[in-house]
Chains A and B, each alone.
Chain A
Amino acid sequence: MSTVDIMIVDDSPIIRQKLTVMLEQIGYRVVQTAATGKEAIAAYRSQRPDLVTMDITMPDMNGIEATRAIIGEFPDAKIVMVTSHGQEKMVLEALKAGAKGYVIKPFQPHVVYEAIQKACRRTVDQAKVQAIIEQRTNTTES
């Protein structure tokens, strides 16, 4: 397996530490951690990691806004959400913002590994995501 440089974004120090240990045991390299959305954007510019794991609920800027900002500036960025939010609408918001995967906490190593591998080898079909969002919006309105 070729090395993948990863940045972990999470406001919880215990999750940053746990994910670092887990990812390094799997064989990835954690090159940066960030505790807020704004920190993540600045760190992405300087580090240009191969992949980002992104929490949603964070101080100063949430993970969906940070994802949108990073993808806006770096369209090829690969971001996988790692969050406790289980709402379908939140998942769709994240994918719409450009996330390439979504893992719900508490995470298991094989689930994180699969999400990272998928994100690294293929992109989400944004047209398909948009169609799902529109379909759900129409259902809600009718």
Chain B
Amino acid sequence: MTQIDRIMSSIACRTREYLGAEFGVTITAANAHCSESDQLTLPRMTTVIALGGNINMLVAFGFDERLIDLIFDKMTEGFEVGEDEVAMYREAATGEAVNTILGHCTSDLADDAGGVITMTPPVILEGVKTIRRMKDASFYTQNLDSMFGQVTVNLVGPRMIFDNHLDYATQENHEHR
């Protein structure tokens, strides 16, 4: 099993566990592939977390709207959310969901010989975004289907050529919106 396979397998397993236990969502199908295309198109709202240590990649999660609604409703149970706070709490809810899933993954992926796997705080990207693949970049995609819609997981790396907004960390901007 390659490292990418291990990462994708851990993410699929932890996403299934978390969505099932917290929100009663069952993942019905999963498929993963190494993208060979020249560009990666991210969903309208994407949560990005960079994993350090022996992983050294960025993970971008996109949830279908119905899943976001479900996560938001469950996480805000027990307190009032004002109309002007809804957008902020929706972002916070998906950010926390991704943070929790990947935090659990770190225990699967930790390597005794390596240091700890660090995580960055979640960054929320709004609006459909397309990233063109440059020579050294790699994209891997996994789709997890549920009755409330799809979870799209993209692995983007290596980490050092991107910033936390998935823009190339060079002066020339290779991103197209």
Contacts and interface: CB of A to CB of B under 8 A. Distances in A.
A86 B14 CA distance: 12
Nearest to B75: A14
A87 B75 contact: no
B106 A15 contact: no
Contacts of A57: 99, 103, 118-121
Given A11-B121, A84-B100, A106 B22 contact: yes
Interface stretch (B1-9, B89-97, B155-163): B89-97
Interface stretch (A39-47, A68-76, A88-96, A125-133): A88-96
A52 to B, nearest CB: 19
Interface residues of B, number: 31
B107 A86 contact: yes
Nearest to B80: A17
Nearest to B117: A87
Give the bracket for the number of chain A residues in contact with chain B.
20 to 34
Nearest to B119: A57
A22 to B, nearest CB: 8
B110 A89 contact: yes
Interface string B92-129: 11011001111110110010110111111100000000
Contacts of A85: 103, 106, 119
Contact of B89 (A14, A86, A104, A139): A14
Interface of B: 18, 21-22, 75-76, 78-79, 88-89, 92-93, 95-96, 99-104, 106-107, 110, 112-113, 115-121
Interface of A: 11-15, 17-18, 21-22, 57-59, 83-90, 93, 104-106, 139-140
